[in-house]
């Protein structure tokens, strides 16, 4: 899947968490490392991580992973700026990009694979994963929309592209609730860790 790139949005301030959530432990790694591990295990080899807050600490956590990073100097202005920064940093021969959130460490490999397969088979330029009909992450955008993704409406973000090209959307049911759950607060984090522990996973460093 060399034509597919994953963009990981890892620029946030983690204000509601009170500490940099992407560095919290998840299955023996930091949260952002777990996101990257899942991406690589899905067969995607090209990963671009968009940094903002705490760039040195996150870069240090990622030093052993085969990823590229880019720093979004406008990260305080909202998530859409990180999408723009990531898309503008993709190589010209990239075919499509999946947009991952850095605080969704439990998205299953097969959910990612379903999205990529749907792009390859549906002849649609935008593929959005669903859980019980609710849209989640990671959405995939064919890079024929590079210009649109590089000029997102700050009020609407990624949804502005989907709204503009609704006839080019393919929705794929993943049956994975993890695609619609992110981690914003300590309560969210503990709930996700507890759910994972019930599945026998180890969260110690």
Domain limits for position 139: 4-186
Residue 195: inside a domain: no
Stretch 9-14: mean pLDDT, rounded? 95
Q: How far is CA 118 from the centre of its chain?
A: 17
Q: What is the CATH number of the domain that holds 75?
A: 3.90.550.10
Model confidence at 1, pLDDT cuts 50, 70, 90, reads: low
Residue 20: inside a domain: yes
Residue 47: inside a domain: yes
Average pLDDT of the chain, as a whole number: 94
Residue 199: inside a domain: no
| pLDDT, position 82 | 98
Residue 72 · residue 85 · CB < 8 Å: yes
C-alpha distances (whole Å) from 47 to each of 42, 53, 60, 153 are: 12, 19, 16, 24
Residue 58: inside a domain: yes
Q: How far apart are CA 135 and CA 61, in angstroms?
A: 30
Digit-coded pLDDT (tens) for 17-58: 989 999 999 999 999 999 999 999 999 999 999 999 999 999
Rg (CA), the chain: 16
Residue 132: inside a domain: yes
Task: Name the domain count of the chain.
Answer: 1
Residue 200 pLDDT > 90, yes or no? no
Residue 167: inside a domain: yes
Residue 73: inside a domain: yes
What pairing do the DSSP bridges indicate for beta strands 169-173 and 126-131? parallel
Q: Which of 121-130, 181-190, 193-202 has the lowest mean pLDDT?
A: 193-202
Beta bridge partners of 126: 141, 169
| pLDDT, position 171 | 98
H or E element in which residue 114 lies: helix 109-122
């Amino acid at each position: 899947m060399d034509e597919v790139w994953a963009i990981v949005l890892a620029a946030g301030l983690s204000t509601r968490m009170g500490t940099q959530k992407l560095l919290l432990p998840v299955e023996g790694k930091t949260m952002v490392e777990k996101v990257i591990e899942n991406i690589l295990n899905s067969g995607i080899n090209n990963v671009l991580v968009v940094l903002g807050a705490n760039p040195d600490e996150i870069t240090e956590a990622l030093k052993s992973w085969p990823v590229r990073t880019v720093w979004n100097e406008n990260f305080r202005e909202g998530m859409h700026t990180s999408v723009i920064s990531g898309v503008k940093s993709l190589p010209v021969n990239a075919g499509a990009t999946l947009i991952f959130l850095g605080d969704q460490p439990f998205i299953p490999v097969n959910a990612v694979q379903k999205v990529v397969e749907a792009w390859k088979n549906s002849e649609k330029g935008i593929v959005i994963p669903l859980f019980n009909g609710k849209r989640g992450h990671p959405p995939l955008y064919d890079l024929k929309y590079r210009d649109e993704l590089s000029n997102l409406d700050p009020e609407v973000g990624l949804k502005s592209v989907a709204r503009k090209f609704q006839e080019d959307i393919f929705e794929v049911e993943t049956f994975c609730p993890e695609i619609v759950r992110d981690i914003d607060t300590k309560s969210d984090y503990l709930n996700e860790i507890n759910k994972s522990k019930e599945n026998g996973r180890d969260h110690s460093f």
